[in-house]
């Protein structure tokens, strides 16, 4: 086991990623949620007192608003990602509001809560947002475990929920819900795009997996890719979310004879594992990769430790006309490096607003119907399209190769896009995902208690 000082603590992870570097990155709500001193910071673009974003009054003096309930982890192993998703969501709302809102003047506001990367807390906070704050739609989450809990609650409560940054295939598979929509990619889409680059290093793979829904889903997806290629699973180790020591798992992987190590890990877990991967002298011994990696992870690693091939839902240099503009807005507003978690928050929030706008009301059944035929600009070369039979958003998928600073084309690049995939071809087919079809065919949309929908005037 490594000495305690060699472990990469959550606080150090947040510090390196910029959360402790100055409150200009955080709004008052998040400062409070993280236990930081509000006095040290400046407000987010549209933040107001009390933890919600205050929308300007519509013309004529009446305040006409749509209220989003934003659930993100501002504590726990995924806190940095939650912060980024919130910032992206704020940019989305600001864009809509600055353009005059929807329906001729309805502005967007939000209330946010910390799900703490805990499913029970996420469901509890979702209930608070719905039953106390009376939000019109739920948006957010990084942990798939939390997302599953929130999705189940949303279905019971009768409120639409957009999962912005949750990738477990269960969410649009056996545990899909009528009121849930995923705006980002699935683990299967990521594995099918990324796997072919890892197969170039060999067909004997070892797995280290975060022991919950997202980790299992990533593991299964990459195993499927390996099986199709005629490869061999050499070993599998599952480890609790929030772990700091991977010495036992890495020792076994190093001596296993595997060509590739799949890390189905994320957040501070992935930072810790990759640091120790380097400390164990494994960088030159085997290839490493997995479902997800990004700037907020790589910024916590040394140049030598940033290695491998990884799935990514978005990249600022993807060639889309508005992608670089969005990256600049994030950089200029929050004084932080862009990462794809910013995009997750932005993309899911835009989708939620566009669905409500198309529905002409916040009434759940109408929003669901609008979502099931929704197409929107997701800052990629092609529009994002929601699939009606499993509520998975089809879109481009990116493969990133970790690169040293000497090869960066722009500051904070960390990853070079080496591959893209067509989401329509990478996502589960109807034959592969019969569970989703069956679930959605049987579910109904319950009436939401004590709620009066907002409707276009």
Return the closest-CA partner of residue 158 out of 183, 135, 124, 125: 135
CATH superfamily of 188-312+396-426: Response regulator (3.40.50.2300)
Question: How, if at all, do strands 287-290 and 309-312 pair?
Answer: parallel
Determine which helix (DSSP H) or strand (DSSP E) holds 346, and give its type and residue range. Answer: helix 340-359
Question: How, if at all, do strands 309-312 and 396-402 pair?
Answer: antiparallel
Instruction: Please enumerate in sequence order all residues whose Cβ is within 8 A of that of 384, keeping only pairs 6 or more positions apart, or say none.
Output: 183, 347, 351, 375, 376, 377, 378, 393, 394, 395
User: Over 196-255, what HEC string results?
Assistant: HHHHCCCCEEEEEEECCHHHHHHHHHHHHHHHHCCCEEEEEEEECCCCCCCHHHHHHHHC
DSSP E strand stretches across 231-383: 232-239, 260-264, 287-290, 309-312, 375-376
φ and ψ at 193, to 5 degrees? -80, -40
CA angle 220, 236, 167 (to 5 degrees): 35
Instruction: Please enumerate in sequence order all residues whose Cβ is within 8 A of that of 29, keeping only pairs 6 or more positions apart, or say none.
Output: 44, 47, 51, 52, 112
CA angle 156, 160, 166 (to 5 degrees): 95
Instruction: Please enumerate in sequence order all residues whose Cβ is within 8 A of that of 290, keeping only pairs 6 or more positions apart, or say none.
Output: 194, 218, 222, 262, 263, 264, 265, 270, 308, 310, 311
Number of DSSP helices (H) and strands (E) in the chain, helices first: 15, 16
CATH number of 16-185+319-394+435-442: 3.40.50.2300
Q: Which residues partner with 364 through β-bridges? A: none
Return the closest-CA partner of residue 414 out of 271, 264, 282, 222: 271
Return the closest-CA partner of residue 17 out of 268, 213, 203: 268
- SS3 state at 293: coil
CA distance 380 to 320: 5
Return the closest-CA partner of residue 142 out of 84, 220, 221: 84
Q: Note the pLDDT of residue 457.
A: 87
Is the Cα dihedral 257, 250, 210, 191 positive or negative?
negative
Q: Note the pLDDT of residue 63.
A: 58
Which parts of the chain sit beneath pLDDT 70? 1-63
Which DSSP symbol is given to 53? Answer: E
The DSSP secondary structure of 411-454, one letter per residue, reads: TT--EEEEEEEEHHHHSPPTTTTHHHHHHHHH---PPPTT----
Q: Which residues partner with 23 through β-bridges? A: 41
Domain range annotation of the chain: 16-185+319-394+435-442, 188-312+396-426
Instruction: Please enumerate in sequence order all residues whose Cβ is within 8 A of that of 280, keeping only pairs 6 or more positions apart, or say none.
Output: 247, 250, 251, 254
Specify whether the CB–CB gap between 198 and 287 falls below 8 A: yes
Domain 16-185+319-394+435-442 and domain 188-312+396-426, same fold? Reply is yes
Provide the token pair at 159.
């409120």
């Amino acid at each position: 086991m490594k000495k305690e000082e060699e472990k990469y603590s959550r606080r150090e992870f947040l510090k390196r990623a910029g959360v402790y570097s100055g409150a200009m990155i955080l709004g008052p709500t998040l400062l409070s949620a993280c236990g930081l001193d509000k006095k040290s910071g400046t407000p987010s673009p549209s933040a107001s007192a009390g933890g919600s974003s205050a929308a300007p009054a519509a013309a004529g003096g009446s305040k006409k608003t749509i209220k989003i309930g934003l659930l993100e982890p501002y504590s726990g192993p995924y806190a940095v990602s939650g912060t980024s998703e919130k910032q992206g969501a704020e940019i989305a709302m600001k864009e809509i509001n600055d353009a005059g809102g929807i329906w001729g003047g309805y502005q967007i506001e939000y209330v946010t809560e910390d799900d703490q990367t805990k499913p029970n807390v996420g469901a509890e906070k979702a209930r608070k947002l719905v039953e106390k704050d009376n939000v019109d739609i739920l948006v957010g989450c990084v942990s798939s475990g939390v997302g599953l809990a929130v999705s189940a609650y949303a279905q019971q409560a009768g409120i639409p929920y957009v999962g912005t940054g949750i990738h477990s295939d269960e969410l649009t598979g056996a545990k899909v819900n009528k009121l849930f929509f995923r705006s980002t990619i699935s683990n299967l889409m990521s594995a099918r795009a990324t796997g072919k680059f890892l197969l170039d290093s060999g067909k004997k793979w070892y797995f280290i997996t975060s022991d919950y829904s997202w980790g299992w889903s990533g593991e299964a997806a990459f195993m499927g890719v390996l099986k199709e290629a005629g490869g061999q699973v050499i070993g599998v180790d599952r480890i609790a979310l929030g772990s700091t020591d991977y010495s036992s798992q890495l020792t076994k992987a190093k001596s296993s004879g595997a060509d590739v190590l799949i890390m189905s890990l994320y957040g501070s877990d992935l930072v810790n594992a990759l640091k120790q991967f380097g400390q164990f002298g494994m960088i030159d011994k085997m290839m490493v990769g997995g479902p997800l990696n990004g700037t907020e992870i790589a910024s916590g690693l040394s140049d030598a430790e940033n290695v491998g091939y990884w799935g990514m839902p978005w990249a600022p240099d993807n060639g889309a006309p508005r992608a670089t503009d969005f990256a600049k807005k994030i950089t200029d507003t929050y004084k932080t490096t862009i990462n794809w978690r910013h995009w997750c928050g932005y993309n899911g929030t835009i989708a939620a607003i566009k669905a409500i706008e198309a529905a002409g009301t916040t009434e759940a059944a109408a929003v669901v119907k609008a979502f099931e035929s929704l197409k929107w600009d997701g800052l990629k070369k092609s529009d994002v399209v929601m699939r009606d039979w499993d509520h998975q958003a089809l879109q481009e998928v990116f493969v990133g190769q970790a690169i040293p600073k000497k090869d960066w084309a722009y500051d904070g690049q960390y990853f070079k896009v080496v591959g893209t995939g067509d989401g329509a071809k990478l996502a589960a087919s109807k034959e592969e995902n019969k569970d989703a079809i069956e679930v959605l065919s049987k579910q109904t949309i319950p009436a939401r208690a004590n709620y009066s929908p907002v409707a276009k005037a």
